[in-house]
Structure 1
């Protein structure tokens, strides 16, 4: 494995660590590609991520602070209808965990705010220290004989029956290659570059809070997100801090003051945190696909050159599902792999010159369409 910087430099080391159900933002966007039966099969595997993560943490003794408890939050009656439908869908998967819809004053059972009209508690979800998870999984990978080379960016790739990847310090030859660069591809493979576009997400971390304040914020010590097209997401960490993240909802830009920008959003949900100090704020790119669904497959005419990319901001949990399916495809193939690779990749025209404009238009349309599908 060749890592351009160091393990955790990318999205996995700097995201919110939310353990959510599902793959992609809206499976309806891929209905035409996979059909009714395919959509049902993808939905059936979409709840596997949390169990895969827990199994790996247990098997390899990874100190990743896994905590059960997730709240999907809604602001109005339209979103309430959506959450009630989600409750039925989640329960139809036969989860052994508590799944419960809440409305009005009952919402206070899971979160300490008056900002929401309704919520859906899913105790099968939760949150994890994603950097520690990544590092633990890397150690597990090495224990199986894999070699990991940090600070080894690929400079050139030569395809053939055996593929050669050249770095600044040497080269690697292999029968198969997996491109797993996501938002850090840096145009090295044009075929992959043209079907995603980078946007940014931003997080903050408060100072350590009192146990009393933590219980007020989150009686379940859980993770949360609303269900708008572009979400706020947050969780209580193991150190009693609040981690709060978001992305710009309409106009694509990088705020000049990340602490102030994210703090303003946090106070809309938790106004009683006005005097709390913000210790850290950071951000980073994430590769989005036009249909907001992950992309896997092989490069055209190159059956031994595989790829995975385009998690569109939902990567921690779905990546464990998608990459399990991808591994099946790289090994001997599987029906699940053929199904997910059949989701078409759409070219993002003009992304190199008009990225902010395209993202602003896309975010605006995404928000408007939320009124029609019960997400706004």
Structure 2
């Protein structure tokens, strides 16, 4: 087990927690039961790998299972490493990919039973996981998979000329005055900040998939996938409660015409690294929280909404805009322009500073160049 954990850590770079329950190895065997161990870690980890009989694995996780969009990957391998079985959350949680990786490492036979994999067909939820996209409607995703299995439908990127006037008419408020070019472009203008957001579209049989962080209106045959590509720079007074931070960030996203699911990180100045409201907000939203020193933020190039008061307190003239741009400039994401089809440059602001009675918020794109 420990050797396997070390191999996985070297291959994936992920943090691996190895637990052993074995009477023959009292010096390393944990005192708690397997189920107690699962109870402790189920909601904290991305994947659980059992090296045991599959029945033990199933019984240990059964009461915790909710939905594939939330459950961690559950994989089971026999003690002789002959077979590796993907048990739960094969696509959305990455259990199938983990199963294949373990099989390759251990020279084992992978056992993957999801229908699209068995049939060698496209899986929309697997595609979403691989590209860090949020599935907004799992019933629609299921319908797409059913059509793929029934007809063998393949995903096809929608050509620019195929976008209809009806689609343009039904676009969100941010997009209504756009110039239609096939990849719908919505323009956001906020205090001199002007950037464009794109919408990429896939046709899969009778269904369409739109990929955008925008808050768009879709019909019954259309599924929206949301890229996690927006960083929120946040400044706040000491002791601001989490509900005020939640309101401020939600309002900022609404002003920008963006879905909250697109939030990928929250950033601020290092004076706020222990701010309870910010930490709770990030924990609830399950996004990382990073901070920067005042001198790092002041060195970020660009023109920002300067405040003498903020400068006197923090040592930098603007926290939210500068921190958002710094994070976005340093943390590229793989989908980038291919999926967003956008004109906004990497690391540029989408929304300049918005003030909400003790909280300031600015938004920036986090995408590869």
Give the alignment's TM-score, normalised by structure 1.
0.24
Flag the structure with larger Rg: 2
Bigger relative contact order, structure 1 or 2 (CA pairs below 8 A, ≥6 apart): 1
Structure 2-normalised TM-score?
0.24
